[in-house]
A and B are shown apart, each in its own frame.
Chain A
């Protein structure tokens, strides 16, 4: 599993991406562990026990809003992207 960080999420982890060798059954359990590893990241991931509205999380390029949200199941070779809500034109 690969986790990638973008925009102003990057400074919160200090890295662009990391390999995550431990399989996780779903997004919630992965984010819990990430939030523990990168303390500054935690409140960008969660609002209470729900997904934070300040981020967009993609699993294999699909926003989890159109999968199963924070309960989205994960496979060992998935790519998980953590984006801040930002914009352009």
Chain B
């Protein structure tokens, strides 16, 4: 096969059985790979009512056809499971090198089933698969785990692993590869921990074949030219994602203190301009990336000293304005810790913000404070709580369940800023209508990245500009972003590639690589197909239209200060039209015509 390898690797951790199966070509053609292929396998094999932390859940790692090739900024892989945080399907996407390593080792997907009796790690070298004892690794943080596993396997191996958070089943634990790259959201790290799987090391000497080298190279150079000319892609290289802080704040849409407000006067201190000046040491790129948005950072202040990568915008927001903090060193340190301990750097700070909000509102009994000074703006607190969450110590043990379950424990779930129990990120949906619809309808719960309408509602990407306060046209906009993102995810691409590349570019590269002809419409349709497949799973898991929701605060409590003062989310006005443009009934259920059209029936 070209582009794809043609093999699925299946590892049963209960029995130790290892099987190799052929990739079904039709699945590859319809679902592309990565998010699509993994979701297809998962939904075919796992009942939607499965308990996410039980051995019956499956954990699938899948690169896409582009992964491991020179398709620009398209070297990613996806992790699919049922999420223990949301109980929806989980799909976490990561960069680094791991996805490419899986392709070179000879696989389009690795399916982990069952549960090992004791901690293990898996070493995959081309066709050889070993399940090894990991008891000496259990408890170790991500950097040490990575180094030790490499020393025991191969210096050139790529390692994906969990830290203490995944071992202890923190519901938003991440899987880290290359230490600093995260399959972050939805608690896929907890699923890995529930299987007693500490790490996966992969090394491959195989390759990815190309159907038409000349056509692929030509398409690649067209795509690369577009990326180097695109101001957003270039901005990401210069300042990283954290450049967003100021524009969100200046429009009054920077969620502040757990969405108590939308404007934070000292936001500039944690923005990308400050990051570049104060903590950036150099830029970093994922596999075959021409953008290199990664930030290698170092904090010198002895209180928060350390080295690592990030913070990205969401983490700087979470550990910054969301907690009322404007200390960049502390936010950077907290983000380093998320990578080292294996925690989602959105859910972790957003959960902390919820706790602070409840404490400040007198809803947390003092005896549960752990002797900590839980208040807005406490820079030391955000670092300390991050550790306690990952290690499940004291109040961290409760926070490890996520903000929804935490707030519910104290009788006030309305303090949790979540949708489907996943923490919503860093764009105030009261001032930006489209992203609010994305938060509410995303198949993996409160998420921005799977339908990033910010690109046109705030960033004027591609010189498309839509008024963030308007609801007209937003349902169609959200659908378009969701479908395109699913296709990009499924082909192994990084969505930052869409700052420059359009569906035609992706389709041209995919066709030349695989030898299967895709038009731009085919490509986007694959995305729509994947979106609907995820939706069906969620419906079977028990979700209904009422779960396509936002916290009351966003619907009823206007932003208090700043340029977007007085605004609320108009989700209820947009939702019916969203179902309509999706071809779903008024309960959000895909019609049988739609399913037939997508070849899902």
- Residues of A with Cβ closer than 8 Å to B? 4, 6-8, 10, 16, 53-54, 56, 58, 60-63, 65-66, 79, 81, 83-89
Whether a CB of chain A sits under 8 angstroms from the CB of B475 is no
B236 at the binding interface (Cβ < 8 Å) = yes
Is A89 a contact of B495 with CB atoms below 8 Å?
Answer: yes
B312 contacts across to A, CB distance below 8 A: 88-89
How far in angstroms is the closest Cβ of chain B from A14?
A: 13
Chain A CB within 8 A of B313 CB:
yes
| B467 in contact with A66 (CB, 8 Å) | yes
CB–CB B455/A61 < 8 A = no
Residue of B nearest to A59 (CB): B563
Q: B240 to chain A: which residues have CB within 8 Å?
A: 88
- A residues near B184, Cβ cutoff 8 Å: none
Residue in A6, A53, A60, A63 whose CB lies within 8 Å of B273: A6
Assess the A87–B461 pair: CB atoms within 8 A.
yes
**Min CB gap A28→B, angstroms:** 19
> In the docked arrangement, what's the CA distance between A53 and B461, Å?
10
Q: Which residue of B lies closest to A4 (CB)?
A: B250
A7 and B272 within 8 A (CB)? yes
Q: How large is the interface on B (under 10, 10 to 19, 20 to 34, 35 or more residues)?
A: 35 or more
Q: Which 8 A-B pairs have the closest CB atoms?
A: A61-B563, A86-B235, A87-B232, A88-B241, A88-B244, A85-B231, A88-B313, A66-B467
Residues of B within 8 A of A81 (CB): 247, 250
Which partner residue on chain B sits nearest A17 by CB separation?
Answer: B268
- Interface pair B250/A86, CB less than 8 Å apart: no
CA distance A21 to B250 in the complex (A): 21
Do B463 and A53 touch (CB < 8 A)?
Answer: yes
Q: Are A89 and B452 in contact (CB under 8 A)?
A: yes
Contact residue among A61, A65, A79, A85 (Cβ-Cβ distance under 8 Å from B235): A85
Contact B564 A85 (CB under 8 A): no
* B449 interfacial by beta-carbon distance below 8 Å: yes
15 contacts between A and B (CB under 8 A): A7-B239, A7-B243, A7-B272, A8-B235, A60-B563, A61-B563, A61-B564, A62-B563, A63-B460, A66-B467, A87-B236, A87-B455, A88-B241, A88-B242, A88-B312
| Closest A residue, CB atoms, query B252 | A61
In the bound complex, CA of A81 to CA of B562 (Å): 14
Q: Which residues of A contact B495 (CB under 8 A)?
A: 89
> What are the residues of chain B within 8 A of A86 when measuring CB–CB?
231-232, 234-236, 238-239, 243, 247, 459
- Cβ < 8 Å to A, chain B residues 207-257: 231-236, 238-244, 246-247, 250-252
Of the candidates A4, A86, A88, the one having the most CB atoms from chain B within 10 angstroms of its own CB is A88
Contact B273 A7 (CB under 8 A): yes
Residues of B within 8 A of A60 (CB): 563
Asked whether B448 is an interface residue with its Cβ less than 8 Å from the other chain, the reply is yes
Which secondary structure dominates chain A's binding surface? Answer: mixed
**How far is the CB of B251 from the nearest CB of chain A, in Å?**
5
Chain B residues within 8 Å of A, Cβ to Cβ: 231-236, 238-244, 246-247, 250-252, 268, 272-273, 312-314, 448-449, 452, 455, 459-461, 463, 465, 467, 469, 495-496, 499, 562-564
Contacts of A79 in B (CB 8 A): 250
**Which residues of chain B have C-beta atoms less than 8 A from A7's C-beta?**
235, 238-239, 243, 246, 272-273
Docked CA distance A8–B236 (Å): 11
For the complex formed, measure the closest distance between the CB of B534 and the CB atoms of chain A, giving whole angstroms.
20
B429 to chain A: closest CB distance in Å? Answer: 16
Report the bound CA distance from A1 to B463 in whole Å.
28
A residues in contact with B232, CB < 8 Å: 85-87
Q: Are B251 and A89 in contact (CB under 8 A)?
A: no
* Closest-CB distance, B580 to chain A (whole angstroms): 26
Which residue of chain A has its CB nearest to the CB of B268?
Answer: A16
> Are A61 and B238 neighbours in the complex by a CB distance under 8 Å?
no
Q: Which of A10, A53, A54, A84 lies at the interface centre, i.e. has the most chain B CB atoms within 10 A of its CB?
A: A84
In the complex, are the beta carbons of A87 and B273 less than 8 A apart?
Answer: no
Contact A61 B448 (CB under 8 A): no
A53 cross-chain contacts in B, Cβ below 8 A: 460, 463
Contacts of B236 in A (CB 8 A): 86-88
* Pair B313/A89 contact, Cβ less than 8 Å: yes
Known pairs A7-B273, A66-B467; A87 contacts B250 (CB<8 A): no
Bound complex: CA A4 to CA B244 (Å): 15
A89 to B499, CA, bound (A): 11
Residues of chain A within 8 A (CB-CB) of B465 are: 63, 65
Chain A residues positioned under 8 Å from B455 (CB to CB): 87
A84 touching B231 in the complex, CB below 8 Å, given contacts A60-B563, A61-B564, A89-B448? yes
Do A8 and B238 touch (CB < 8 A)?
A: yes
Shortest distance between the CB of A5 and any CB in chain B (Å) = 10
Please state if A87 and B246 are interface contacts (CB–CB under 8 Å): no
Q: Is the CB of B243 within 8 A of A87?
A: yes
Inter-chain contact A61/B251, CB cutoff 8 Å: yes
Closest to B316 in A: A88
Q: In the assembled complex, which residues on chain B have CB atoms less than 8 Å from the CB atom of A83?
A: 246-247, 250
Chain B residue, CB-CB nearest to A6:
B246
A10: min CB distance to chain B, Å: 6
Contacts of A16 in B (CB 8 A): 268
The winner among B246, B252, B455, B496 for most chain A CB atoms within 10 A is B246
CB distance A54 to B231 under 8 Å?
Answer: yes
Min CB–CB distance B451 → chain A (angstroms): 12
Distance of A60 Cα from B241 Cα, bound (Å)? 24
From residue A27, how far is it (CB to closest CB) to chain B in Å?
16
Q: Which residues of B contact A84 (CB under 8 A)?
A: 231, 235
Q: How far is the CB of B543 from chain A (nearest CB, A)?
A: 25
What residues on B are CB-neighbors of A66 within 8 Å? 467, 469
Flag if A56 contacts B460 (CB, 8 Å): yes
